[in-house]
């Protein structure tokens, strides 16, 4: 799956050839950029969101064009994709990670048809990293998870990201009678389940359901 920086780089090189005939100075002048800096962007320098918007203005392209793949290139099938933000937080599959901020650190791309077929809405999706071993083997330590923040109604046995007592967790949830909820780890031998009264004074908030995970091998 391509990240946004790779796609922006491919789009920059595509525009350089198609709009400016491969002449770096011409495109650099259009963006009002020095030759050395423009060359760096065509080589190894990452294209951030501000620079992507600047290129779109110079090329008279719609906002966000640089962040998406376009058309068939070198035999690859045309695929519509959507961006999903990666938040700079960790959800604990352990004893809890303190939530300090939820700044976006980067973006990942998913197929548009994969998103829509599942009834997801792009604006309600987010990606975070999981820390800890309590959800192994289902969710390994270090995996990234896609969270549907629109799906916060507890369905028994599903996995959710939740905020509990100012900590961020990823756990299975099970409704119990009254206002009780059982919080379950898949690695139950080391992390036994516990029960929360959602009407108590302790903060308990379901932030979204886990709908996909990815990891490096």
- Residue percentage of the chain with pLDDT more than 90: 45
State residue 203's pLDDT score: 81
Out of 47-61, 73-87, 165-179, pick the least confident: 73-87
Q: Do 56 and 62 contact (CB within 8 A), yes or no?
A: yes
Residues 26-50: tens digit of each pLDDT: 999 999 999 999 999 999 899 999 9
> How far apart (Å, rounded) are the C-alpha atoms in residues 122 and 198?
29
* Secondary structure of residue 208 in the 3-state scheme: strand
Q: Where does 81-214 sit in CATH, by number? A: 2.10.109.10
- Give the residue-averaged pLDDT of 83-94: 75
Q: How confident is the model at residue 100 (pLDDT cuts 50, 70, 90)?
A: very low
The structure tokens listed for 1 are: 């799956």
- 101-156, pLDDT tens digit by residue? 455 557 788 877 888 888 898 888 999 989 899 999 999 998 999 999 999 999 99
Q: Residue 7 pLDDT more than 70?
A: yes
Q: What is the percent of the chain with per-residue pLDDT over 70, rounded to a whole number?
A: 87
**Residue ranges of the domains in the chain?**
4-67, 81-214
- Across 153-162, average pLDDT: 94
CA distance 183 to 195: 6
pLDDT band of residue 72 (cuts 50, 70, 90) is very low
Provide mean pLDDT across the span 173-184: 94
Q: Give the CA angle between residues 92, 96, 98 to the nearest 5°.
A: 100
Q: How far is CA 162 from the centre of its chain?
A: 17
User: How distant, in Å, are the alpha carbons of 83, 92, 126 from that of 112?
Assistant: 9, 29, 15
pLDDT digit string (tens) for 190-216?
999 999 998 885 788 899 999 999 876
Interval 70-74 mean pLDDT? 54
């Amino acid at each position: 799956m391509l990240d946004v920086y790779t796609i922006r780089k491919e789009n920059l090189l595509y525009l350089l050839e198609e709009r400016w005939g491969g002449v770096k100075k011409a495109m650099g002048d259009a963006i009002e950029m020095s030759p050395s800096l423009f060359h760096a962007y065509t080589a190894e320098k990452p294209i951030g969101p501000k620079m992507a918007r600047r290129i779109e203005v110079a090329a008279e392209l719609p906002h966000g064009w640089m962040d998406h793949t376009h058309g068939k290139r070198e035999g690859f099938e045309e695929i519509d994709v959507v961006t999903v933000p990666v938040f700079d937080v960790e959800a604990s599959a352990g004893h809890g990670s303190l939530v300090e901020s939820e700044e976006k650190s980067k973006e990942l791309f998913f197929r548009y048809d994969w998103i829509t077929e599942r009834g997801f809405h792009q604006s309600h999706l987010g990606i975070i990293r999981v820390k800890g071993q309590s959800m192994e083997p289902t969710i390994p330590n270090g995996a990234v998870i896609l969270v549907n923040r629109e799906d916060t109604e507890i369905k028994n046995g599903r996995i959710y990201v939740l905020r509990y007592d100012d900590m961020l967790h990823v756990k299975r949830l099970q409704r119990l009678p009254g206002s009780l909820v059982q919080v379950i780890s898949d690695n139950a031998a080391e992390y036994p389940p516990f029960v929360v009264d959602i009407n108590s004074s302790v903060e308990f908030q379901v932030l979204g359901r886990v709908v996909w995970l990815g990891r490096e091998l």
